[in-house]
Structure 1
Amino acid sequence: MSVKIPGRIVPDPNAHGDVEASLTGRIEAPKGGLPVLGEEVKQGQILGYVSPAVGVVDRTQVRREVARLTTEIRQTAESVELLKQFWFVPFRDGKVIQAEMKLEGLRRERAALLPMLQTQEVLRASTDGVVSVSNAINGRIVQPGEKIFEIVNPKRLWVEAVAADPHLAAVAAEVEEAVATTPDGQALDVSFVGSGLSLQQQAVPLMFRVEDPAEGLRVGRPVTVSIRSKQKSRPGIAVPRDAVVTGSNGLEQVWEHVAPEVFVPAP
């Protein structure tokens, strides 16, 4: 048995990484300049910096608050140690617990303020690969969680396919041979990785690994996956070609007469 299902090229999740900012700040270029699209990078390589966008007055207030918290933390820590040494203090255990909770809260407050005093946040490549997306402009203000770079390893690519018929997922799991074909006729050997349990737009998602990605293969490119299963046959009903129509979702289907004046579409 052989079937054909649509798919697209996606990056290997273990060789794909996003570089995002964790604070509000201004992008600054490293010594060698900001990386450009198509540039190869290594894991841990410095791609840029983010300088916190905090004004002089705000920074001074933050320093003053950090200094106050540091002094209060030192005083509270000394009080805790003194309470632990003198066992005859009334309700000593409760006071120790209360002081330790206060100390932990003060430390959390200071930890939340310290990043605002950092001079720069270093943006490093999360994996080896090629810069496929770059939103970095020298001097641009970015927000926390905003994607600045996207890195893809062109030697480790997958194919994400969708099967409208749940039976095709079982066929793909028993695959004997699978080939992904690009629109220009380029054939790629792929191997079955797994299928998802959650439907996506009423279809079963299937993942295949590209064994030897060709040069210049792009992420997002559509492909057609041809699967030859170990199954030799499948029970079914022969229908005339005129009975096959295109449904509202663009998939081919036939109408099954299940009861008087009741017809149900079947893919």
Structure 2
Amino acid sequence: MSKPLSTWAALLAFLTLQPGAAALAHEGHEHAEPAAATAAAPVKPVTGQPLSEAPLRLPDGSLFVPKSVQRRMGAQGLRTAPVASGNFPRVLSLPGQVIADPGSGGRVQTLQAGRLAAGPEGLAVLGQRVKKGQILAWLEPAAGALEKGAGQAALAELTAQESLLASRVARLEQLEGSVPAKDIEQARIELRAFRQKKAAVAGSLGREALRAPVDGVIGAANGVAGQVVDAREVVFEVFDPARLAVQAQAPDPAALAAGVEGGSLDLGQGVGVELAFVGMGRSLQAQSLPVLFRVQPQPDMPQLVLGQSVQVLARVRQSRAAPVLAIPASALVRDGDNQARVWVHGAPERFEARSVRVEPLDGTRVAVIQGLQAGEQVVRDGAVDLNRVR
């Protein structure tokens, strides 16, 4: 029995409204492949640049650096510091050299020509810690056969005379009470003086001890066992590594007329070491006035070595006419023309390069004469990485 016409019409309408109805086809009919989905357009930030995990240089020269990239730059991510304003002292940059503190160092020199020999504990070597009076080496005097023979003959004669004087003192002591006491005391004095004379002659014939003048570390060793050295030759230098000094040279003594109140070492990369002013000379050396500073020990201080050339920033007692701006020295970088500039953090992911004119302030900061304003944030850690973005 056939279904009513209205039932077939209702069924056809139901199938037409189903989502998969368009995919139905009779067998033997070919249909085209469904079209590929169109890729969504990239989302762009307000700067007009596409979102990316890499820093981008914008048309105005500034940089767009995502937060994720900022955390990977520098030693511990990008770090900023505010531009400070204050009455900082005037600084004069002077060339200098690291030396041993005059009160804690010394040299070991020979008084006569001779041959070096190892001491009781061996020949002192570089870096060895020694005590004051410790024998570092022996010096065997250089003398000819005739000189040695004459010296040994004189020593033998002195030995014989010493025996005679000792016997005389012994006889007088046995007659004590019957012989005046002054005669006995005089004989004893003569014997002591003669023994000292004999020891001096014997010492000139024997080897000489080269002793450490102070407690410290061997900073220079200029001899080996068996080496022949001349008189007044420096064999060892001893210094205390915890007590160092810096001697600076001031080509213009008039610049220090107001006086020096302190200083610091500029070791580069924002690293500085504090110095205490000791004094300055009153006569020129190599057309410069010598100025002496003492290194102030501090935690994590870079190692300094004797003879190292350094840049000294001497603080003079002369106030500036107006407050100046100061930024960390590590914030300074160089552009393609080798001009100083810094990166200013203007927005969360925006950095702007700013050319500046600076003057030395101390080892860790520089004074900004032009290019910045107080309160602006400059990149102090990671500025070099920003400068490499192209």
Using the TM superposition, give the Cα deviation of residue 185 of structure 1 relative to its aligned residue in structure 2, in angstroms: 4.6
Would you say the 8 A contact 1:169–1:195 is kept in 2?
no
**Pairwise CA distance, 1:127:** 0.9
Matching of residues 60-209 of structure 1 within 5 Å:
60-66=149-155, 114-118=202-206, 120-173=207-260, 175=261, 177-183=262-268, 185-209=270-294
Bigger Cα displacement from structure 2, 63-72 vs 127-136: 63-72
How far apart are the structure 2 equivalents of 1:184 and 1:136?
38
Report whether the alignment pairs 1:39 with 2:128.
Answer: yes
1:161 Cα offset (Å): 0.9
| In structure 1, distance between residues paired with 2:259 and 2:127 | 34
Give 1:16 deviation, angstroms.
1.3
CA-atom RMSD in angstroms? 3.2
The one of 292, 303, 306 equivalent to 1:216 is: 303
Alpha-carbon shift at residue 220 of structure 1 (Å): 1.6
Q: Which residue of structure 1 lines up, in the alignment, with residue 118 of structure 2?
A: 29
Tell me how many residue pairs correspond in the alignment. 202
Structure 2 counterpart of 1:128, which letter? Answer: D
Match for residue 142 of structure 2? 53
- 2:95 — aligned with what? 6
Tell me, what secondary structure is at the counterpart of 1:154? Answer: coil
Change (3 A) 1:33 1:67: closer
SS at match of 1:13: coil
CA contact (8 A) 1:196 1:206 kept: yes
Give the Cα separation in 2 of the matches to 1:216 and 1:178.
18
Considering only CA atoms, is the larger Rg found in Structure 1 or Structure 2?
2
Q: Distance in 2 between matches of 1:194 and 1:31?
A: 41
CA distance in 1, matches of 2:221, 2:134: 15
| DSSP-derived class of the 2:257 partner | helix
Q: Deviation of residue 153 (structure 1)? A: 1.2
What is the CA-CA distance between 1:3 and the residue it aligns to? 2.1
- TM-score when scaled to structure 1? 0.64
- Equivalence for 2:109: 20
2:256/2:316 contact within 8 Å kept = no
User: CA, structure 1 residues 66+148, in 2 after alignment: closer, same or farther (shift >3 Å)?
Assistant: same
Whole-angstrom CA distance in 2 between matches of 1:150 and 1:32: 18
The 3 A distance-change label for structure 1 pair 57 and 162 is: closer
- The CA deviation at 1:115 is 4.1
Residues 43 and 50 (structure 1), Cα distance of their counterparts in 2 relative to 1, 3 Å cut:
same
**Does the 8 Å CA contact 2:247/2:292 hold for their aligned counterparts?**
yes
Report the residue type matching 1:46 in the other structure: I
| 2: CA distance, partners of 1:34 / 1:69 | 34
Offset of residue 226 of structure 1: 1.8
The 1:160/1:185 distance shift into structure 2, 3 A limit, reads: farther
* Shift in CA distance, 66/42, structure 1 to aligned 2, threshold 3 Å: closer
Q: Contact conserved, 2:259 with 2:317, CA < 8 A, in 1?
A: no
Aligned-partner Cα distance in 2 for 1:226–1:23? 43
SS for the counterpart of 2:103 is helix
Structure 1 unmatched ranges of 5 or more: 75-108, 235-267
Q: 1:3-42: per-residue Cα shift (whole Å, max 9, x none)? A: 2222121111111111112222221112332121111111
Counterpart code for 1:163:
A
Amino acid paired to 1:167: A
In structure 2, how many angstroms separate the alpha carbons of the residues matched to 1:139 and 1:24? 13
Instruction: Specify the code of the residue in structure 1 equivalent to 2:263.
Output: A
Cα offsets for 1:124-170 (capped at 9, x unmatched): 11111111111221111222211111112111111111112222223
Kindly indicate whether structure 1 or structure 2 has the higher relative contact order, using CA contacts under 8 Å at least 6 residues apart. 1
Percent of residue pairs bearing the same amino acid type: 36
CA contact (8 A) 1:8 1:160 kept: yes
SS of structure 1 residue aligned to 2:151: helix
